[in-house]
Amino acid sequence: MSRQSFLPFAARRLGHALVVILLAYSFTFLIISVLPGDPVSNMLLDPENGFTEEEIAPIIAHYGLDRPVLEQWWRAISRFALGDLGISLRASRPVSAMLLEALPSTLVLAGTAMLVALLLALAIAYASQSLPRRWGQGVARVLPALSLSVPSFVIGLVLIQVFAFQLGLFRITDPNGAAATVFAALALGIPVSAQIAEVLIANLDHEAGQEYFAVARARGLRLSQLFARHQLRPSALPVVTMIAVSIGELLGGSLITETIFGRKGVGSLVQSAVVTQDFPVLQSLVSLAAVVFVLVNLAADLLYPLLDPRLRRRAAAGRPA
Amino acid sequence: MSATTFSPAGRRGRVGAQPLAVLLSFAVLALVVGWSAAPWLFTGNDPFFGVTARKLLPPSAEHWLGTDHLGRDLYARIVHGTWSSVTSALIATVIGLAVGGLLGLASGFLGGWVDTVIGRLIDMLLAIPNFLLAVVIVSAFGFQTINVAIATGVASVAVFARLMRSEVMKTSTAVFVEASALAGGRPAHVLLRHVLPNAYRSVVALAVLQFGTSILTIAGLAFLGYGDPPPAADWGLLVANGKDYPSSPWLVFAPAAVIVVTVLAINRLSRWIRHAA
Amino acid sequence: MPPDAPLLEIRDLAVAYGPQPAVQGVDLTLRDGGSLALIGESGSGKSSIVRALCGLLPAGARLRGTILFQGQDLLSLAPARLRALRGRAIGFVPQDPQNALNPVRSIGAQAQEAARLLDLPDAAARRRRILEIFARVGLAEPARIYDAYPHELSGGMLQRVLIGLAMLPGPALIVADEPTSALDVTIQKRILDLLATLQAELGIALLLITHDLAIAAERAQDVVVLKEGRVQEQGTSQDVFRRPRSAYARQLQADVPALNPERFRAAATRRHGDDDAIRVDGVHKRFHAGTGIVQAVQDVSFRVPAGTTHALVGESGSGKTTLVRLLLGLERPDRGSITVGGGPVQAGQPDSLRALRRELQLVYQNPFTSLDPTWTVGGIIGEPLDRYAVGRRGDRPARVVEALRAVGLAEELLRRRPGALSGGQRQRVAIARALILRPRVLVLDEPTSALDVTVQAGIVEMLFRLQAQLGLTYLFVSHDLALIRQIADSVTVLRQGQVVEQGPVAQIFSRPRAAYTGLLLDSIPRPAAAAREAVLLDQGGED
């Protein structure tokens, strides 16, 4: 893609991404702050929590709960845009500090899970094309559908039951150990790998039915060359799309996985924020998840022209119908 | 010109197995419907009262799937928990289908600024990870199974809207749609008689698939304790309760297996709908 | 390999995908340096034979028989040796060049794959050889082509690249599977010429698969005629065209317009009206495509007297499709005016267009996309009656049946859906739908180009019977000049949106003034002189 056509394309996509982030923040704000009365006052006024009138007033003022909703929204989103994530109601600490504490563990978990997911998906996809037809391929093709029918918490519990309790490969009392991390990543990564594998297999099959695949085969290529150059390479674009979309799956799934494996991380932070109704934390974390999702997908979009030469001059070479 | 078509790799060989798997899936679904409609026909045991002395018994002829920590019959609890687990997934699917379907239809058929606005809304819903979106909604509305169902439904709106939009746009540009306009068809006629009938099959397939996914999501939310509290017997909640007794693994695996088999059957039926000629 | 053994000998070949065999008991031989054409329509099994030979059958297919190539039985060879033999000794030229190269890899990268079978020291040496071959197959800028991606080249250039790739390892046999059916006629001729030159100069044998009898007659020494997986007839092309023995070969030969200049002329007799049914005056249309502007139609004018047939001829990009869409009011011209039956075509005015379309209907090129798969045949044909509320509701079914009979279909088809119909039946349904409102003008956009030649013959005859009965005016869009010569009264030749020349068919075809028209006419395949003579003798016709 020439520079003249790439820059406007990138700028347009960036603007689009900002709009989506803004909307996602506002939507979360709407759900949390407007619909069922406002949760902060609910909590403060709950007699069980034992706040006095004098304590309540400054907090209400701090959150601007005495102002019109639109103004509250504006204040919240301005702060968010400036990187101020607010203060936890329960821990009385800045959300950003809590997030920074929790982030490394979750990044390690999600990164390992994505790696595991990619390796598994690739292995299953290769098996689906190269194994003997009736049994080998059949099994490889059923696996993704099967693992997509298993709740992720069940995968986690089975891994713990088998590999921690029966085989003793890791201890759940040390959730951040290397072995425990790998198994947690498996629990998180298996559903993601199944999604990627389904897309990959569908695309590999599609490529295998293309005329250029037949022509390359007639050229005398080996199966592994055919797979890499004429099946996998043309499938890269939909797979990158799927990987970018499954970032959301990883972020949402970390909630359950971290809870089951007893890890401290962003997911368990969300879980405790939900249980304690700590809405500033919840609002920030969910909005940040949306930001991550949007940015990853933006990166994927900007990558497409590299993966498919036909997209490089989409603007330049229009053809008549 | 040569119309000799070659079946894509992998189709052949499963042709013979297909009807059996589909029949089994229908049987599983029938059993699940039976469990939710008339649980008392399938078990004589009380799901809510147990004999504490008979707690944590392994599966036996008397208690097919064993008993839990209060001595309650697990099979009875699973059967009686079906209604709530399945109906909430159904409610979620209907919400997603109705709201998402209408948004996608309007977006795809009207185009222009309507499409732009709805398109951004869909992008926004997609940007918030599904499970987190459901979690936020449930925590704002309160921990109840009905709220879990609504939250799961809202979280699935985007998927339906996106598919409906692309199906409608694909069909709207089909040659036979233009042919209908040439035959004097006005837009409403074209939409109702040509576009929708051709778009509905993949949307129905998605709805069935999403029904299975909703069962999983709702089980996940129940597992985290966001649904009705015990003694409710939602499948996800049964697994969550069972995991505290690692020496009685059936408490986890029996309800888990029920979830897996149900979702597997539903997914198989979705694939069958998508490919049926 | 004994000295006199043929290069390729197929004995008793059978291919099956499901329970039904696709190919049965096929024998054929091809000698070193010879040329053989496999002729057949869709479902004839010709592609299955090629795919069996090139090892491209899908995994579920079952094979029987022997394929002897250079004395070795391909079907009993170990996979690795087979792969190498095929890559080196058999070059494959596919049907649709636009789809035959991997779109995300450069031409050079794919050429390197083919060149790796040669004993060349390094990639640079291979590149030199590739560029030589590209020049040999008539590609003007080999280095630019080498670096290009498939989507940057035209169909004709891609087909030359593919022929070059097939030639690269120095094969003994080139298998060309309908190598020109996706290309424009003028390019078709050049590609066939190239294959013939390579065959003659380098002594490479050619196995040509085609549905086009005229091409086979012109380009191959021997022919094999296939139908439903069985050989109907084989021999030298001279014999088969001079004395077709099988009924199917006779029918095929009779239905090809290029072989039978008089085939449809009798059908196309009609009453001439006095007024113009269609008037197109100085029409311009341009489209914005990306950053550029495409002048799709530029200052086109023509008139069609009522009751006659006017042909629009042109290759891809000529603007004929845009012109059809302008005529139907599906696009609005930038300048100029169009009237049909005295009334103006006003794009963007739904009521005016609705009224217009009672007089003007369209038959689409591809009957596989123009019929709603969820509707029944009866519903499809009756749709215009219901939409325009023609007559009483109770009378409409009778009119639908009448229309169905008029296009030569049986009443049993009423309840079928398009999926259960053949291509020819679908196109008849589409014609019935177009005619049920009794319009005066019918636009036929390549109505037979997606169909087999024997099916085409039936539909063309039916169309002109209806024209004579109903006094219809036809605007017939086609690229098949041999057909147009027989059926049209007047013709407009289009190129890149402009009129190259227009006038009565007799004059344009016998004394073309524009060089481009001459080029088009030259591209009509001419069977080898002897065969052609035979055809003319048999029919007692003259040129």
Residue of C nearest to B186 (CA): C387
Residue ranges making up the domain that contains B211: 67-276
Which residue, A64, A95, A126, sits at the end of a domain?
Answer: A95
Sign (positive/negative) of CA torsion A37, A38, A39, A42? negative
Q: Which amino acid does the sequence have at C17?
A: Y
> Closest to A320 (Cβ–Cβ): which among C92, C101, C296?
C296
> Closest to C56 (Cβ–Cβ): which among A218, A229, A307?
A218
Chain segment A144-200, per-residue pLDDT in tens: 988 899 998 999 999 998 898 888 888 888 888 889 999 999 999 999 999 999 999
- Contact status of A138 with chain B (Cβ, < 8 Å): yes
Per-residue tokens: B41: 């026909």
Closest-CA distance of chain A to residue B80, Å? 20
Query: What single string gives the DSSP state of each residue in C449-487?
Result: TTS-HHHHHHHHHHHHHHHHHHT-EEEEEES-HHHHHHH
Determine whether the interchain pair B141/A154 forms a contact, defined as Cβ–Cβ distance below 8 Å. no
B23 in a domain, yes or no? no
Per-residue tokens: B174: 């089909």
Per-residue tokens: C306: 């009522």
- Which chain A residues are Cβ-neighbours of C83 within 8 angstroms? 220-222
Q: Do residues A78 and A110 share a domain?
A: no
B2 in a domain, yes or no? no
Query: Which one, of B261, C206, C107, lies nearest residue A154 by Cα?
Result: B261
Closest-CA distance of chain C to residue B269, Å? 21
Query: What single string gives the DSSP state of each residue in chain B?
Result: ------PPTTSTTSTTTHHHHHHHHHHHHHHHHHHHH-GGGT--S-SS---GGGTTPPP-SSSTT-B-TT--BHHHHHHHHHHHHHHHHHHHHHHIIIIIHHHHHHHHHH-HHHHHHHHHHHHHHHHS-HHHHHHHHHHHH-S-HHHHHHHHHHHHHHHHHHHHHHHHHHHHTSHHHHHHHHTT--HHHIIIIIIHHHHHHHHHHHHHHHHHHHHHHHHHHHHTT-SSPTT---HHHHHHHHTT-TT-THHHHHHHHHHHHHHHHHHHHHHHHHH--
Q: Do residues A172 and A281 share a domain?
A: yes
- Contact status of B197 with chain C (Cβ, < 8 Å): yes
- Which chain A residues are Cβ-neighbours of B225 within 8 angstroms? 275
- Contact status of A307 with chain C (Cβ, < 8 Å): yes
Chain segment B129-180, per-residue pLDDT in tens: 999 999 999 988 888 999 999 999 999 999 999 999 999 998 988 999 999 9
Chain segment B176-191, per-residue pLDDT in tens: 999 999 998 998 999 9
Say how many domains are in chain A.
Answer: 2
Q: Do residues A75 and A164 share a domain?
A: no
> Closest to B129 (Cβ–Cβ): which among A165, A248, A282?
A248
Q: Do residues A87 and A130 share a domain?
A: no
Determine whether the interchain pair C59/B189 forms a contact, defined as Cβ–Cβ distance below 8 Å. no
- Contact status of A230 with chain C (Cβ, < 8 Å): yes
Query: Three-class SS of residue C335?
Result: strand
Mutate to test the interface with A, among C62, C113, C496 (most CBs of A within 10 A): C113
- Contact status of C103 with chain A (Cβ, < 8 Å): yes
HSE-up of A50 (CA within 13 Å, CB side)? Answer: 0
pLDDT score for B3: 33
Give the position of tokens 């290759």: C315
> Closest to B198 (Cβ–Cβ): which among C47, C372, C388?
C372
Q: Do residues A64 and A133 share a domain?
A: no
Q: Do residues A81 and A209 share a domain?
A: no
Query: What is the spatial distance between Cα A192 and Cα A187, in angstroms, rounded to a whole number?
Result: 10
Residue C515: count other Cβ atoms within 10 Å of its Cβ: 9
A305 in a domain, yes or no? yes
Subunits in contact with chain B (3 or more CB pairs closer than 8 Å)? A, C
> Closest to C60 (Cβ–Cβ): which among B4, B12, B189?
B12
Subunits in contact with chain C (3 or more CB pairs closer than 8 Å)? A, B
> Closest to C43 (Cβ–Cβ): which among B3, B185, B198?
B3
B25 in a domain, yes or no? no
- Which chain C residues are Cβ-neighbours of A216 within 8 angstroms? 102, 110, 113
Determine whether the interchain pair A215/C96 forms a contact, defined as Cβ–Cβ distance below 8 Å. no
- Contact status of A140 with chain B (Cβ, < 8 Å): no
Which residue, A28, A63, A95, sits at the end of a domain?
Answer: A95
Q: Do residues A290 and A221 share a domain?
A: yes
What's the complex ipTM?
Answer: 0.85
Q: Which amino acid does the sequence have at C137?
A: V
Determine whether the interchain pair A316/C288 forms a contact, defined as Cβ–Cβ distance below 8 Å. no
Query: What single string gives the DSSP state of each residue in C232-258?
Result: EEEEEHHHHHHS--SHHHHHHHHH-GG
> Closest to C321 (Cβ–Cβ): which among A216, A318, A321?
A321
B271 in a domain, yes or no? yes
Residue of A nearest to C52 (CA): A218
pLDDT score for C268: 59
pLDDT score for B15: 43
B237 in a domain, yes or no? yes
> Closest to A215 (Cβ–Cβ): which among C94, C149, C288?
C94
Per-residue tokens: C450: 């997606």
Find the radius of gyration of the CA atoms of chain C: 25
B17 in a domain, yes or no? no
Question: C56 vs B8, B52, C51, CA distance in Å?
Answer: 12, 68, 5
Q: What is the CATH number of the domain that holds B131?
A: 1.10.3720.10
A263 in a domain, yes or no? yes
Q: Do residues A112 and A67 share a domain?
A: no
Closest-CA distance of chain A to residue C173, Å? 13
Say how many domains are in chain B.
Answer: 1
Judged by CB atoms within 8 Å, which residues 42-61 of A form the interface with B?
none
Determine whether the interchain pair B128/A289 forms a contact, defined as Cβ–Cβ distance below 8 Å. yes
Give the position of tokens 């499709």: C321
Q: Is there a contact between C28 and C66 (Cβ–Cβ < 8 Å)?
A: no
B39 in a domain, yes or no? no
Residue of B nearest to C436 (CA): B183
Judged by CB atoms within 8 Å, which residues 244-283 of A form the interface with B?
245, 247-249, 251-253, 255-256, 259-260, 270-271, 274-275, 277, 282
Residue C192: count other Cβ atoms within 10 Å of its Cβ: 21
Return the DSSP state at C418.
Answer: G
Subunits in contact with chain A (3 or more CB pairs closer than 8 Å)? B, C
Within chain A, which residues score under 70 in pLDDT? 1-5, 34-50, 62-65, 313-321
B31 in a domain, yes or no? no
pLDDT score for A39: 59
Which residue, A95, A114, A131, sits at the end of a domain?
Answer: A95
Determine whether the interchain pair C373/B189 forms a contact, defined as Cβ–Cβ distance below 8 Å. no
Query: What is the spatial distance between Cα C287 and Cα C294, in angstroms, rounded to a whole number?
Result: 5
- Contact status of A275 with chain C (Cβ, < 8 Å): no
Domains by residue range for chain C, with CATH: 1-89+171-255 (3.40.50.300), 98-170 (no CATH), 275-531 (3.40.50.300)
- Which chain B residues are Cβ-neighbours of C328 within 8 angstroms? 182
Determine whether the interchain pair B132/A286 forms a contact, defined as Cβ–Cβ distance below 8 Å. yes
Residue ranges making up the domain that contains A88: 5-95
- Which chain B residues are Cβ-neighbours of C361 within 8 angstroms? 182
Closest-CA distance of chain C to residue B159, Å? 25
Determine whether the interchain pair C100/A236 forms a contact, defined as Cβ–Cβ distance below 8 Å. no
- Contact status of B204 with chain A (Cβ, < 8 Å): no
Sorted by sequence, the CB contacts under 8 Å of residue B276 that are 6+ apart come out as none
User: Does position B201 have pLDDT exceeding 50, yes or no?
Assistant: yes
Per-residue tokens: A50: 């034992």
pLDDT score for A201: 93
pLDDT score for A38: 58
The H-or-E segment that residue C222 falls in is: strand C222-227
Query: Three-class SS of residue A247?
Result: helix
Q: Do residues A139 and A261 share a domain?
A: yes
E strands within C72-143?
72-73, 90-93
The H-or-E segment that residue B35 falls in is: helix B18-37
pLDDT score for C525: 79
Q: Do residues A33 and A167 share a domain?
A: no
Per-position pLDDT tens, chain C of length 543: 455 678 999 999 999 988 888 999 999 999 998 999 999 888 888 989 998 998 888 877 888 999 999 988 988 888 888 888 888 899 999 888 989 999 999 999 999 988 888 888 889 999 999 999 999 898 989 999 999 999 999 888 999 999 999 999 889 999 999 898 888 888 888 899 999 988 888 889 999 999 888 888 888 999 999 999 999 999 998 888 888 889 988 888 888 887 777 777 666 555 566 788 999 999 999 988 666 788 899 999 999 999 899 999 988 888 899 999 999 999 999 999 999 988 899 888 888 898 899 999 999 999 989 999 999 999 999 999 999 998 888 899 999 999 999 999 999 999 999 989 999 999 999 999 999 999 999 999 999 888 888 888 889 999 988 998 888 999 999 988 888 988 899 999 999 999 999 999 989 988 999 999 998 888 887 765 444 444 444 444 333
Determine whether the interchain pair A157/B9 forms a contact, defined as Cβ–Cβ distance below 8 Å. no
> Closest to C370 (Cβ–Cβ): which among B1, B13, B176?
B176
pLDDT score for B56: 79
A150 in a domain, yes or no? yes
Q: Do residues A192 and A278 share a domain?
A: yes
Residue of C nearest to A317 (CA): C290
- Which chain B residues are Cβ-neighbours of C95 within 8 angstroms? 1-2
Q: Give CA angle at C453 (C451, C457), nearest 5°.
A: 100
Judged by CB atoms within 8 Å, which residues 190-219 of A form the interface with C?
210-212, 214-219
Determine whether the interchain pair A316/C287 forms a contact, defined as Cβ–Cβ distance below 8 Å. no
Closest-CA distance of chain B to residue A1, Å? 26
Burial of residue C66 (number of CB atoms within 10 Å: 0-12, 13-18, 19+) = middle
Return the DSSP state at C524.
Answer: S
Q: Do residues A257 and A294 share a domain?
A: yes
A233 in a domain, yes or no? yes
- Which chain C residues are Cβ-neighbours of B185 within 8 angstroms? 383, 387
Give the position of tokens 């120095």: C170
Determine whether the interchain pair A154/B224 forms a contact, defined as Cβ–Cβ distance below 8 Å. no
- Contact status of A31 with chain B (Cβ, < 8 Å): yes
- Which chain A residues are Cβ-neighbours of C104 within 8 angstroms? 233-234, 236, 307-310
A321 in a domain, yes or no? no
